[in-house]
Structure 1
Amino acid sequence: MPRLLDQYGQPLQREVLAEPQTARIGWVTREFAEHPSRGLTPARLHRVLEEAEQGVLSAQADLFTDMEEKDGHIFAEMSKRKRVLLTLDWSIVPPPQASAAEKTLAGRLQEWLDNMPDLDDVLLDCLDGIGHGFAALEIHWQQLGREWLPEKLSHRPQRWFQTLPENGNALRLRDGSTEGAELWPFGWVLHQHRAKSGYLTRAGLHRILCWPYLFKNYAVRDLAEFLEIYGLPLRVGKYPSGATDAEKATLLQAVAGIGHNAAGIIPEGMLIEFQEAAKGSHDPFQAMMDWCERTQSKAILGGTLTSQADGKTSTNALGQIHNEVRHDLTVSDARQLEGTLSRDLLYPLAVLNSGQIDPRRLPRLVFDTRAVEDMASYADSLPKLVGLGLKVPVSWVRDKLAIPAPAEGEEVLSAPRPELALPPALRPTAKPDKAALHYRAVLRNSDGETVYPDQQAIDDISLPQLDSAVQQLLAPLISRIQSGENPDILLASLATAWPELDDSQLQQLLAQAIFVADVWGRLHGDS
């Protein structure tokens, strides 16, 4: 194999193709999570976050994992945030003004990724970095024929890593040394996700969510205690003077258990009194939990109306605005993931199988994050705008409506020629003179009246059937006049006979005339 350079310009380490880096430090894989969420307090949470800023990530990583496991609301909202990218189409795009070789390479990369059976899992594992600030997937390489391809990409827990105390962005693999081991290029897909600015140790979204998570836990615990005693009377035990510690303990046990067991025994001479039943409301606890969940939704999805509705302030318009904010987050997540996969997956694939290439000319993975416009609105407005002379690029319309350009020889939809609906006398035989047919150009008819070109064309249409249609309509009236009826009787009989007159032929002719006028105006009114 010729001398190859990694994505950072350093010589490629051949051992990365033989075995994964973690195979040499197996002890870290046998560590168990500490679950710092158990008994979490504000003081302990502060210590966990402070340790992470100093480079020790294990406790923070364990806490963030517990948060998604224990808080169903965080899990649901984070799942929406991450899985929306799985619904997007993607493609490998060659660089601008690509050569034939670069286009061929883009096609090969597209084929390799299309054939990866677990690509969706890879994308989902990478997006775990939204909450933690980073996600590391270790590449296991295999050689099939002459091609080097990933056998699998394994997600590694964030607790396996550390950062340098003086540089929170320098991620290292924990190997027992003070500074840790540098990650092998070509051996990892390292997605560093910036949910907010700052060092890698503070860029994760879960750093914002951990405080509402803590407060919500307190509210849930208090609510559980309230529900346990709600409706139970206050129980007071009285013991005589001189009672021993054992007797006092027996009385306390009876007082504590009588609410659940509805029975108990106490020594003679002792007394249990029942006071007024416990009162209160769950509303304060529920208000705190609702506030925490709304805060979590705002931090994860940019709003609350795409995740839950309160029945009071939720409207369709507000929901649409919040959904637009959520689309902005999707675009941001997709752009960051595109850079990671292009650098850490496409570049190694290209170099190992096609030789050294310029990273600046590397084909890129691109997600289709376009928000498709309302096709009905564009279908109504575009013909009008084009009719007014606005020059609209076809590529712009295709991009807005997400309509791909047809491939050569591909079957496409088509509409019949509208001019064929005109009578033969009106079908254009040559390209009309724009100046003569412009709607502002006026003509004079035989009576000296001002008319427009399309109106003159309609006036010139010969409809020989009109006379016969009128005669058929007025035939009953003409026969009555010929019979000598006086005008009063004639008018009365005409009013009675009007619904019975045959005007179907005249209606058909008028409909044809209106249709011809409409088609003529559409064809020539904007010329």
Structure 2
Amino acid sequence: MVMKSNATGIYLPNGGFVRFAETAPKQGKQIATRATAAGISNVGSALPNPDPVLRKLGKSIQAYRDLRSDGHVGGCIRRRKAAVKSLQSGLDRNLEPSRHADDITDILADLDMGRIVSEILDAPLYGYQPLEVVWGKVGNYIVPVDVIGKPAEWYFFDQQNRLRFKSKSAGQDGELLPERSHLLPRQDASYDNPYGVPDLARCFWPTKFKQGGIDFWFKFVEKYGTPWLVGKAPRSTPDHEIDSLLDMLEAMVQDAVAVIPDDASVEIVEAGGKSSSADVFEKFLMHLRSEVSIALLGQNQTTEADTTNASAQAGQDVSADIRDADAGLVAATINQLIGWIAELNFNDAPPVFSFWEPESVDKTLAERDAILKNAGANLTRQYFKRAYQLQDDDIGEAPAQGVNTPFAFAEGQPNSYPDQEAIDAAVGGLSNVLLNDQASDLLTPVITAMQRGQSEAEMLGLLAEAYPHMNDDALVNTLTNMLFIADTWGRLSANANRID
């Protein structure tokens, strides 16, 4: 009797089917590791740094640290770090504030965050940067009292990609570090390369070639930049006299004086046609400088003298991406520290630390709004929130000082004097409403010009255009009549009082 089967089970003679037991995948265990991979040497626990520059040189990361003494490399590093430090930072931006956000803020305020951020930013330069966390008890909390960046060459990774310290007492296997003892920011780290990718590796050879090229350039300048002194002597002059004349010319190059026989002559010859050779050296050195700028800043448009403003602006956009990546690395490292603090002291989710670019206020828009406000325009809270990206609690309530009515003349007292009633009757029933209407008609072109103008110069030009169209006759006549009647009534009242 033949029983049929397939990869999933077997068919029984009675028509039944028995499925093979499915093997569940192993949980929490890797299959492909350095210990099981063929052709991988597992001698010792230390995993060597696969950086190609350090392997060829047989040196440690100290070789990269020495590059920072170069003026161009050091300047690019300072600029790159300053780009991150110029950003604003804080906890729970655009999020619901955490319960312990204030506590975390106070804990971070006790640390030297400027130095810590700068040390974290060494990770992109060397690939990785260990920072030791020193814990202490402050009040009822266990908090980091200091975070110290340690030299990266003091540490190495083992075959399981775990960080170990090169301790004197631990031998070549190193000391496995305890939990929450070290922060480890890394750039582009992977299983194959847990040490990360250092940006200074891209700067090593250009900087070394530049330093060697400058030595050759100095020799070239010394050789072809100084005029040549050519001594001429008769053909029958003995060799010892020619040698003596040569010594006098060498001394003349330094002292500018010499004594030569009267039958000899000295000619000064300028080196000509060597400018093109000097340009080759300069272009070579500038190319090496550009390589360093591109490696550290992502562009060379803002570091070279022959760039335009448009190309420099485009280059800043590229370097902004690198700045954001560095800021993200710093934020992730600080958030890991905050998470440890929350695990040791709190039971809820920790706050989130982040960087963001400061929002600039449009100066032209702010000046225009100030002019409109002074002219009487009523700008609403909704407008300020929309125009300047403000939140509800960013705008406080204005103090109650009464409502200012634009172009409004003073209202009469509730109990007017008899003389005032007589003047109002003599004017012919002129009221404040009429005066306000006339003033509004007169100033309408002014308000229109301010609303249309984008700058002060444009507003002045629009006001000059609108001035011939302003009709102030009605308002002037009304005010003239009122002043005349008031003056006349005052004189009559004074004479009546003297008669009485």
TM-score (norm 1): 0.53
Partner residue of 1:81?
A: 80
Output the CA distance in 1 between the equivalents of 2:269 and 2:368.
Answer: 72
Listed as ranges, the matches of 1:346-425 within 5 Å are 346-354=338-346, 357=347, 361-369=349-357, 372=360, 374=362, 401=388, 403-406=390-393, 411=396, 421=406
Partner residue of 2:110?
A: 115
Partner residue of 1:63?
A: 63
Question: Is structure 2 residue 126 aligned with structure 1 residue 132?
Answer: yes
Conserved in 1, the CA contact under 8 Å of 2:134 and 2:145?
A: yes
Which secondary structure state, in structure 1, belongs to the residue aligned with residue 185 of structure 2? strand
Task: Give the deviation of 1:209 after TM superposition.
Answer: 1.5
Task: Give the deviation of 1:276 after TM superposition.
Answer: 5.3
Partner residue of 2:327?
A: 334
Equivalent residue letter for 1:151? V
Partner residue of 1:318?
A: 311
Partner residue of 1:160?
A: 154
Output the CA distance in 2 between the equivalents of 1:255 and 1:371.
Answer: 68
Equivalent pairs counted in the alignment come to 350
Q: 1:414 to 1:324 in 2, by over 3 A?
A: farther
Output the CA distance in 1 between the equivalents of 2:471 and 2:194.
Answer: 83
Q: Deviations over 1:165-198 (max 9, x none)?
A: x67x654322364443333322222221349998
Conserved in 1, the CA contact under 8 Å of 2:184 and 2:333?
A: yes
Partner residue of 2:164?
A: 172
Q: 1:190 to 1:251 in 2, by over 3 A?
A: farther
Q: Deviations over 1:83-105 (max 9, x none)?
A: 2222222112299677xxxx222
Task: Give the deviation of 1:111 after TM superposition.
Answer: 1.7
Output the CA distance in 2 between the equivalents of 1:262 and 1:465.
Answer: 93
Task: Give the deviation of 1:342 after TM superposition.
Answer: 0.8
Q: 1:321 to 1:364 in 2, by over 3 A?
A: same
Output the CA distance in 1 between the equivalents of 2:437 and 2:118.
Answer: 73
Q: 1:292 to 1:332 in 2, by over 3 A?
A: same
Output the CA distance in 1 between the equivalents of 2:136 and 2:436.
Answer: 84
Output the CA distance in 2 between the equivalents of 1:309 and 1:82.
Answer: 22
Equivalent residue letter for 1:291? H
Task: Give the deviation of 1:158 after TM superposition.
Answer: 1.9
Q: Give 1 or 2 for the bigger CA radius of gyration.
A: 2
Conserved in 1, the CA contact under 8 Å of 2:385 and 2:391?
A: no
Conserved in 2, the CA contact under 8 Å of 1:67 and 1:210?
A: yes
Conserved in 1, the CA contact under 8 Å of 2:180 and 2:340?
A: yes
Equivalent residue letter for 2:352? R
Output the CA distance in 2 between the equivalents of 1:67 and 1:136.
Answer: 20
Conserved in 2, the CA contact under 8 Å of 1:77 and 1:307?
A: no
Task: Give the deviation of 1:346 after TM superposition.
Answer: 1.0
TM-score (norm 2): 0.55
Task: Give the deviation of 1:75 after TM superposition.
Answer: 1.0
Q: Deviations over 1:146-167 (max 9, x none)?
A: 2333332222112212234x67
Equivalent residue letter for 1:87? S
Partner residue of 1:505?
A: 473
Output the CA distance in 2 between the equivalents of 1:292 and 1:417.
Answer: 69
In structure 2, which of residues 206, 216, 226 is the aligned counterpart of residue 231 of structure 1?
226
Partner residue of 2:14?
A: none
Equivalent residue letter for 2:84? L
Q: Deviations over 1:123-164 (max 9, x none)?
A: 111111121112222222232332333332222112212234
Output the CA distance in 1 between the equivalents of 2:51 and 2:127.
Answer: 13
Conserved in 2, the CA contact under 8 Å of 1:49 and 1:60?
A: no
Conserved in 2, the CA contact under 8 Å of 1:53 and 1:202?
A: no
Which secondary structure state, in structure 2, belongs to the residue aligned with residue 320 of structure 1? helix
Q: 1:124 to 1:206 in 2, by over 3 A?
A: same
Q: Deviations over 1:431-487 (max 9, x none)?
A: xxxxxxxxxxxxxxxxxxxxxxxxxxxxxx999999xx9xxxxxxxxxxxxxxxxxx
Conserved in 2, the CA contact under 8 Å of 1:59 and 1:159?
A: no
Equivalent residue letter for 1:331? D
Listed as ranges, the matches of 1:438-453 within 5 Å are none
Unmatched segments (≥5 aa) in structure 1: 1-46, 237-242, 244-249, 266-272, 382-393, 425-460, 470-501, 510-527
Question: Is structure 2 residue 164 aligned with structure 1 residue 151?
Answer: no
Q: 1:276 to 1:119 in 2, by over 3 A?
A: same
Output the CA distance in 2 between the equivalents of 1:224 and 1:60.
Answer: 31
Task: Give the deviation of 1:304 after TM superposition.
Answer: 2.8
Q: 1:93 to 1:53 in 2, by over 3 A?
A: farther
Unmatched segments (≥5 aa) in structure 2: 1-48, 232-238, 260-265, 370-381, 410-432, 442-469, 478-500
Equivalent residue letter for 1:108? D
Listed as ranges, the matches of 1:35-46 within 5 Å are none
